[in-house]
Structure 1
Amino acid sequence: MRKYLEIHPEDEDLFKQQLCQASRNEGAAVVLDANGFEAQACIQSTRNYDFVAGLQSVAECINDIHQLKLFQDECNDWILGFLSYDLKNQLEQLSSSNPDRIEMPDLYFFRPRYLFLSDGIKWQLGYLDDYDTEESALAYIDDLNDVCYPEDVLENIKLNHQVSHKEYLEAIEKVLWHIQRGDIYELNYCMEFFIQDIDLAPQCVFQRLKEVSPTPFASFVKYHDKFLMGASPERYLKKEGSRLVSQPIKGTSPRDPNWFIDNANKQYLRKSEKEQAENIMITDLVRNDLSRVAKRGSVNVDELCGIYSFKQVHQMISSVSAELDGDKSWIDAITTSFPMGSMTGAPKISAMQLIEQYESSKRGVYSGAVGYVTPDGDFDFNVVIRSILYNQKKQCASFMVGGAITNQSDPQNEYDECLLKASAIMKVFNIKH
């Protein structure tokens, strides 16, 4: 049984770093940090937690999404973990055969021995009385003060392109041909960058990424010797009670230190017919996905094409809500809407078939989701974008970037937008482009 203690960190930012660093001694860890963005109306959507962290697995579910609800029922507790994009193969008649550098599982969730929660006002520690007393749980927190911070000097790093500039442009031309032929309306095409022979301290990289690009859905995952360090601005899906909320992002423009240029970039995004068309198509796809599990007439677009500014980029975000039908469970909401439409395109299955045909890397956790499920079956999941994946044993780091291709897309402009989305990660590695 999980019991809760109220705790009072003197320095909350330092405490968050200590929790992340403590994962070096654990086989499994998930850290979710909203970085204080709950103040933004579109982002908050009745957000319950500004920070969630789970450390040390006492039970786990791997790879099979059809076993996930049974696992959560058996635990009757919080579970934390991730869904990889390639779970699509369990949900539809699809396959994945592109090379995979990182080799994360398709799915991983665990019941944590230690659970840390903050709503932005107070902190709680949840511990399991099968493993700990109140005294030993508090002793675990005291031990965090002794966690050391390894130095991580990132310099002279060689960035490799899985897809060359020329190959990218050729692939987009082929996608545009499919759009003109009527096979699809929109497709999210992604490309991979990777770094070989690199020895990282992932916890330090995650801290650096949050400093460079603070976002409302930052996530850190440790699965043995494999890691995810993410600065996602996007929510995939949240459930609170019977209410479902999805907030797809489509539409990006750069920030600029000059206020006039920055405002012009923001107004361009607000008025761009192309960016609006991308967003509206995916918003409609999300509406359709949620309608499959929602009470009749309950699906609403609460905000369409809202503009929100982050440290690196302006983004166009829509917000769709629905009431979950009484005969549907929390897992139904996920299996009918995953992978998220913002990372596939429309129609979804046709887009995913073409993604497999034209992309050169297996997506894995990229464009999947990281989050938690509560004992009541509530959940909150991000979209894994703007994220670094790392295989410590192979000493290989990887990240992917992509964008929505529509009939109005210009291949070179799409390539430039991909580099813009990669800019925060390149800053983390001190890479100029």
Structure 2
Amino acid sequence: MRTSIIKNVENPLQIKQQLATWAQQFREIIFLDSNSYPQEYSSFDCVLAVDAFTSLKTDYYNAFDDLKQYQESTKDWLFGYLSYDLKNDVEKVSSKNNDFLDFPDLFFFQPKKVFILKGNTLEIQYLNFCDDEIDYDYATILSTECPINTIVETVHVKQRISRENYLKKVIKVKDHIHRGDIYEANFCMEFFSENTAIDPLQKFLKLNSISKPPFAVYFKNHQHYILSASPERYLRKEGELIVSQPIKGTSKRFLDTTEDEESKNKLASDPKERAENIMITDLVRNDLARTAHKGSVQVTELCKIYSFLQVHQMITTITSKLDSQYAVIDVLKSTFPMGSMTGAPKISVMNIIDELEETKRGVYSGAVGYFTPNGDFDFNVVIRSILYNSASKYVSFSVGSAITSLSVPEKEYEECLLKAHAMLEVLS
């Protein structure tokens, strides 16, 4: 059981930074920020959860069954992530690539302390045995000074796959498409830095400030950090309503308003971008149908253009109504990994991209999010994100693009660099 207290705050932007800064004392932290991005489906402006009372850490084997048992037994707030390699729990696939980050495949924790900000209202929820700490903690938060970035860190970022090698690999993907093995593949490559120490909070605050995405995440589990500026929702459950919003299609932003509008309109009408979006839309529709009331799967927005500070994106919204015979976790298990990060058909694509990619994706192209006490959930897609292991001093981010029969390898490479821009700016 939790004690809940409501506080009115004068400066929501300031309290966000104070919460994130105050949280650094804890071993387990998750800070989710919607950045006031205009969206139809949203529960809060930001949420902070800290200090695990219980937790679940596991590899991919039986991971979804373990998560189901954990979620159903706690019936409380749970925060954490699903890594891409949980695909091995869902299908008969595997990965032989190296993993330099060494994150657990799945990690969730039940926090002792939760802060939920919406407008000028801050709701504080503490587990009952520690609710006598609320007043002291809140006073400490209000007196916390927001960090000033005075640290200059030298981060030498390397590219795992060279431009020449990338172009060759995209041609191999297209060969598979022309042979009829697959229709579309999301092929990714890693950027990394070794023997590097960074200040994770400072890097997150900068990444968030230059991107302002609706699904930003600062996550810490001891030495593992996720600094995410994700614009993409994987899956949301609100009552019986399930919402998926895959992104497929990207174009550049311009300072000149005329150029910017042209870039946006070109994306909206680009046959290649629309084709890749619609293919993934069909995949998501089929995935959602597995746990949906018959006839309830609907495409409510098709190929709509949304603008973010770094890029324009083409997003489709698909909804369904959850059939009551299925558990909360069944929806995640039957749709994971998300089609926007694999391609179609899923199993064939996952095998092919694992052969061509040179590192395990790990948390990248997985999902970070939460479960509410009543069994609702919301998860992002881990893209535009920096991953960091402070023990091994390894920094990593990955980018990718959808390869179809219409893809021009050089343009796909340029799209990857466009997506990498914000992370490179933050690290360099």
Matched residue SS, 1:132:
helix
Following the alignment from structure 2 to structure 1, what is the Cα–Cα distance between the partners of residues 394 and 20?
A: 21
Following the alignment from structure 2 to structure 1, what is the Cα–Cα distance between the partners of residues 9 and 33?
A: 16
Match of 1:44? 40
Identity of matched residues, %:
46
Q: Measure how far apart 1:11 and its partner are.
A: 2.5
Match of 1:79? 78
Match of 1:132? 131
Following the alignment from structure 1 to structure 2, what is the Cα–Cα distance between the partners of residues 418 and 266?
A: 18
Following the alignment from structure 1 to structure 2, what is the Cα–Cα distance between the partners of residues 74 and 150?
A: 42
Match of 1:55? 50
Superposition map of 1:340-355 within 5 A: 340-355=338-353
Match of 1:20? 20
The answer (yes or no) to whether the contact 1:185–1:347 under 8 Å persists in 2 is yes
Match of 1:91? 90
Match of 1:382? 380
Following the alignment from structure 1 to structure 2, what is the Cα–Cα distance between the partners of residues 150 and 77?
A: 35
Following the alignment from structure 1 to structure 2, what is the Cα–Cα distance between the partners of residues 380 and 152?
A: 35
The answer (yes or no) to whether the contact 1:152–1:204 under 8 Å persists in 2 is no
Following the alignment from structure 2 to structure 1, what is the Cα–Cα distance between the partners of residues 45 and 14?
A: 15
Q: Measure how far apart 1:143 and its partner are.
A: 1.9
Following the alignment from structure 1 to structure 2, what is the Cα–Cα distance between the partners of residues 275 and 213?
A: 22
Letter of the 2:128 partner, please give it: D
TM-superposition CA deviations, 1:278-335 (whole Å, max 9, x none): 0000011000000000000000000000001110100000000000001011101000
Following the alignment from structure 1 to structure 2, what is the Cα–Cα distance between the partners of residues 121 and 344?
A: 40
The answer (yes or no) to whether the contact 2:233–2:244 under 8 Å persists in 1 is yes
Q: Using a 3 Å threshold, how does the CA distance of structure 1 residues 361 and 152 change in structure 2: closer, same or farther?
A: farther
Q: Using a 3 Å threshold, how does the CA distance of structure 1 residues 156 and 72 change in structure 2: closer, same or farther?
A: closer
Q: Normalization by structure 1: what TM-score?
A: 0.95
TM-superposition CA deviations, 1:153-179 (whole Å, max 9, x none): 345432111111111011101000000
Matched residue SS, 1:304:
strand
Structure 1 gap ranges (5+): none
Letter of the 2:267 partner, please give it: L
The answer (yes or no) to whether the contact 2:8–2:120 under 8 Å persists in 1 is no
Following the alignment from structure 1 to structure 2, what is the Cα–Cα distance between the partners of residues 89 and 50?
A: 34
The answer (yes or no) to whether the contact 2:10–2:120 under 8 Å persists in 1 is no
Matched residue SS, 2:69:
helix
TM-superposition CA deviations, 1:54-109 (whole Å, max 9, x none): 10000001122211121122222110111100011111111122111211111111
The answer (yes or no) to whether the contact 2:12–2:119 under 8 Å persists in 1 is no
Letter of the 1:195 partner, please give it: S
Superposition map of 1:248-397 within 5 A: 248-397=246-395
TM-superposition CA deviations, 1:223-242 (whole Å, max 9, x none): 10110000000000000000
Residue 407 (structure 2) aligned to one of 409, 413, 418: 409
Following the alignment from structure 1 to structure 2, what is the Cα–Cα distance between the partners of residues 298 and 114?
A: 37
Match of 1:247? 245
Structure 2 gap ranges (5+): none
Matched residue SS, 1:113:
strand
Following the alignment from structure 1 to structure 2, what is the Cα–Cα distance between the partners of residues 370 and 202?
A: 17
Q: Measure how far apart 1:21 and its partner are.
A: 2.1
Residue 193 (structure 1) aligned to one of 188, 191, 194: 191
Q: Normalization by structure 2: what TM-score?
A: 0.96
- Over aligned residue pairs, what C-alpha RMSD do you find? 1.3
**Higher mean displacement: 13-22 or 234-243:** 13-22
Following the alignment from structure 2 to structure 1, what is the Cα–Cα distance between the partners of residues 402 and 364?
A: 15
TM-superposition CA deviations, 1:319-367 (whole Å, max 9, x none): 0000000101110100000110000000011111111111001101100
Following the alignment from structure 1 to structure 2, what is the Cα–Cα distance between the partners of residues 183 and 23?
A: 48
